Amino acid sequence: MKPDVIIAFAFGVFRKQDQYKSPNWYIARQAEYLSKKFRIPIITQKDVPVDSTRLEVLFVEKNGYLFTLDIAEKAAELKERWGWHRAKVVAAPPHEWRCRRDLLRLGFKEVEGDYYLRFKFWFWHRFWFSEKSLQPWTRSRTRWWLREIPLRLMPWWLYKKIMD
């Protein structure tokens, strides 16, 4: 599948001095690689440090915290404007399932995950969870799954209400 757009989701929030080699740094590098390969834009957030000087990057911004659903909703809005149907998701493996689900629910016809990040770091679970993250739920696998499982199991209407 040749995607129409790359959508990169952050995993954790890091101070400027902790960005290098953080999960978001790897997500940014892979999003940049795919954007160059397919010659398509990237939709992401400021926490994913992509080089917007050489690539077409659309940053999603909001006052306050950006939820996964916020980025997916902005991508869906841009999808309507630009006629996109196929998206490639670049996200941490523990987060990818929900990113893909949200985009499909919001109208993308095809949403594919990025296999490079999934296979490169899947067995290195500790990599994705960092004590340097400012988000408590991305500091440990246990904290992540205690938050993620209810979000995955709740009905879509409730999920949307909580995330708005």
Query: How confident is the model over 50-71, as pLDDT tens digits?
Result: 988 889 999 999 887 899 999 9
Q: State the average pLDDT over residues 131-148.
A: 92
Burial of 43 (0-12, 13-18, 19+ CB in 10 A): buried
| pLDDT in the model for residue 63 | 82
- What CATH number should be reported for the domain holding residue 10? 3.40.50.720
- The verdict on pTM exceeding 0.85 is yes
Taking residues 38-61, what's their average pLDDT?
93
Q: Rounded distance, CA 80 to CA 66, Å?
A: 21
Q: How much of the chain, in percent, has pLDDT values that exceed 90?
A: 70
Q: 134-137 — which CB contacts under 8 Å span 24+ positions?
A: 134/12, 134/13, 134/14, 134/15, 135/12, 135/13
Contact predicate 19/29, CB 8 Å? no
Give the pLDDT confidence of 80-103 residue by residue, as tens digits: 999 999 999 999 989 999 999 999
Q: Is the pLDDT of residue 122 over 60?
A: no
157 C-beta neighbours (distance < 10 Å), count: 8
Residue-range definition of the domain harbouring residue 145: 5-163
Report how many domains make up the chain.
Answer: 1
Mean pLDDT (the chain, rounded)? 90
